[in-house]
A and B are shown apart, each in its own frame.
Chain A
Amino acid sequence: MDFGLTEEHEMVRKMVRDFAQKEVKPTIKDWDIRQEMDPKVLPRMGELGILGICIPVRYGGQGMDYISLGLACEELEAVDTTLRVVMSVHMGLNSMALLQWGTEDQKQRFLAPQAKGEKIAAFGLTEPGAGSDVASMNSTAKRDGDEYVINGEKMWISLATKADHFLWVAVTDPEAQDPHEGMTAFVVEAERDGVTSGDIHDKMGVRAGSTGWVNCQSVRVPVENRLGEEGEGFRIAMSCLDNGRYTVAAGATGLIRASLEASVTYANERTTFGRPISRHQLVQQKIARMVKDYEAARLLYLRAGWMKNQGQRNTRETSLAKWYATDASFEAASEAVQVHGAYGYSAEYDVERYLRNSKGAVIYEGTSEIHTLIQAGYALEMRKDAGLRCELPAYDPEAWQSEPETAAAH
């Protein structure tokens, strides 16, 4: 078992790290205070290919593997969570779902421009009244000829006001015996008549990002925009979460690392009672705990990424990685504030931002409570993974890196 990262992975990690540290870190605190997203971030991530990192070249992506996605998320969130949130919704929840479930036509129409960063993608599942209880959602999609008419409001949508394409889940069969069989997934373009959106401010964290609501008022989308079959919506949404959660797990790992590095630096500089606080055992304990959590979180997400590369179903492993890393990142950030004392409580240092950012991750993409039940379910065999009609493609370097065939135009 080789626990080392390949040379390629190391170079990917360094590239994303250099970008985040050099171009985002210097001003991120200001954007956080202003509760605005730096307008340079999305175009730059698109330019550098990060928005298409693990999508095959023939679909406009960079042809790297799923571990590269995880490594990129770790480096992005080590600077600020909002950078990783972009990857979670644009790549994890939306683009990878298109890769997994989309028709060839949908991949060309939606996935390719997304992977190139020409279009920004987001995910519309959560509603004001439906979070953990997905099946209780209200949004509807009624078939009318060769179109669907979509109504409903989604909330807590990252990149709500920035995205061009939403992966929207709505109820197509309100009469269904099992509401889980009555939902369908669609791609809704933001420019369609009836689509409106707005920003939500004053969140505790992730303030340098864009979170908002999206409303569909009699929005008509062609049948060609339906992702998968009618009734598959819930299953598709859950498989989206397998990928979104993976990015959250990797990102939270980066947050633990950032908390650890900040704490080590500060502990070596600050002196109390005649010595650097790094010499005090209770401070050492906090740092040791962060190391433990970082290493464990890292191995968990890398394993999930490896399984995705192999084409293995990884719902359980990804849920475990997300749960572990996010809980640990909240703890690590809190302890990092503690290590910094009063300075940690002030915005002068970064650690209070880490803490505020970390709290969101234990709520979204499956609350820690939901993951607790998921893991118990697997352990007690009350829960089993049903097969999926479409699996996330395994990583195939040759196939993914070959240029699009210049066959006759479609």
Chain B
Amino acid sequence: MNIVVCVKQTPDTAATVTVEGGQVSWGDSPLVLNPWDEYAVEEALRTKEAHGGKVSAVSMGPESAKDALKQALAMGCDEAILISDEALEAADSLATSHVLVAAIGKLDSPELVFFGKASVDSASGVTFAQTARLLGQPLLSQVAGVTSIDPDSATITVERLLPEGREVVESSMPAVVSVTKEINEPRYPSFMGIRKASKAEIPTWGAGDLGMDSVPKAKVDWPEIFAIQQEATSCEVIEGETPEAMAAKLADRLLEEKVI
């Protein structure tokens, strides 16, 4: 099976993120493979181990995103490709999806394209839906388990984790799959994988290489980024004649303040 996994490089979630003059900064904290994408990479690798084939990791980002791709290679992906182009700097998720679709088109007709649930920076969580729609392929989102894959009949059955329960869904392949963290435990890179990854050459494709004469203009921009003012909490003491009265008042306050 040919499998593609789309990944992103993000700041470490432990980083202190600040903004100055509209520029976001994470200090010395390292940039990492988006934690949600690790589950996607792991599932792609497990699928390959079960059914044979190859896993290609693809990322759209700046040159530094090669480090995230190296992490994916070290975990065991067979190849990694970076898509980088100045024209893509202000891309919104729809533009990103167009680009990913063009890249997927250049890879041997993957049966499955894996995504993580969202990226920890912008966290829009829609790129996989847009990609599926552009590809005209079924979307399997919130996937917490792959029940079965049959490459011969080109079908896949998954369990989706919804608030109301686990929905078992079947679809044909090729398909786009977005996974949640319940699906697996991502592996550590092996030492052999680390060696291979550090030696690997990761090609960079620009818009031209993707056969795109022009890059779709972003339809969303975010002209302002700011930090939230930390308000000093003052405790509102709930009073009442009886414990029952206090309890009722607290319940009311919690609902009024939309805490629950």
Contact = CB atoms under 8 A, between A and B. Distances in A.
A6 interface: yes
Given A6-B198, A11-B197, A62 B191 contact: yes
B190 A11 contact: no
B51 interface: no
Nearest to A68: B191
Nearest to B193: A11
Interface in A1-60: 6-8, 11-12, 15, 18-19, 48-49, 53
Contacts of A7: 67, 70, 198
B195 interface: yes
A49 B190 contact: yes
Contacts of B189: 11, 15
Given A6-B198, A11-B71, A11-B198, A62 B192 contact: yes
Interface residues of A, number: 16
A53 B70 contact: no
B198 A8 contact: yes
Contacts of B190: 48-49
Given A6-B198, A7-B198, A12 B191 contact: yes
B119 to A, nearest CB: 20
B101 interface: no
Most-contacted residue by chain B among A7, A49, A53, A401 (CB, 10 A): A7
B194 interface: yes
A19 B194 CA distance: 15
Nearest to A48: B188
B188 A15 contact: yes
B94 interface: no
A52 to B, nearest CB: 9
B260 to A, nearest CB: 29
B74 interface: yes
Interface in B202-236: none
A102 interface: no
Nearest to A11: B194
B188 A63 contact: no
Given A15-B188, A15-B189, A19-B188, A64 B195 contact: yes
A289 B188 CA distance: 34
A63 B198 contact: no
A63 B70 contact: no
Interface string B177-196: 00000000000111110110
Interface residues of B, number: 13
Contact of A63 (B67, B74, B191, B197): B191
Nearest to B71: A11
Main secondary structure of the interface of A (DSSP, over half): helix
A18 B14 CA distance: 14
Contacts of A8: 194-195, 198
Contacts of A63: 191-192, 195
Contact of A53 (B67, B74, B191, B197): B191
Contacts of A49: 190-191
Interface string A297-340: 00000000000000000000000000000000000000000000
A230 B138 CA distance: 72
A49 B190 CA distance: 8
A227 B140 CA distance: 60
Interface in B66-103: 67, 70-71, 74
A9 B192 CA distance: 12
A12 B74 CA distance: 10
A6 B195 CA distance: 11
A12 B71 CA distance: 11
Nearest to A7: B198
Contacts of A11: 70-71, 74, 189, 194, 197-198
A8 B67 CA distance: 11
Given A7-B70, A48-B188, A15 B195 contact: no
A401 B195 contact: yes
A401 B71 CA distance: 20
Nearest to A18: B188
Most-contacted residue by chain A among B71, B191, B195 (CB, 10 A): B191
Interface in B30-87: 67, 70-71, 74
B70 A64 contact: no
A48 B198 CA distance: 18
Contacts of A6: 198
A11 B68 CA distance: 11
Nearest to B188: A15
Contacts of B191: 12, 15, 49, 53, 62-64, 68
A60 to B, nearest CB: 12
A48 B74 CA distance: 13
Contacts of B197: 11
Interface in A339-373: none
Given A7-B198, A11-B74, A62-B192, 16 more contacts: A6-B198, A8-B195, A11-B70, A11-B189, A12-B194, A15-B188, A15-B191, A15-B194, A19-B188, A48-B188, A48-B190, A53-B191, A63-B192, A63-B195, A64-B194, A64-B195
Interface of A: 6-8, 11-12, 15, 18-19, 48-49, 53, 62-64, 68, 401
Interface of B: 67, 70-71, 74, 188-192, 194-195, 197-198
7 contacts: A6-B198, A7-B198, A8-B198, A15-B191, A19-B188, A48-B188, A401-B195
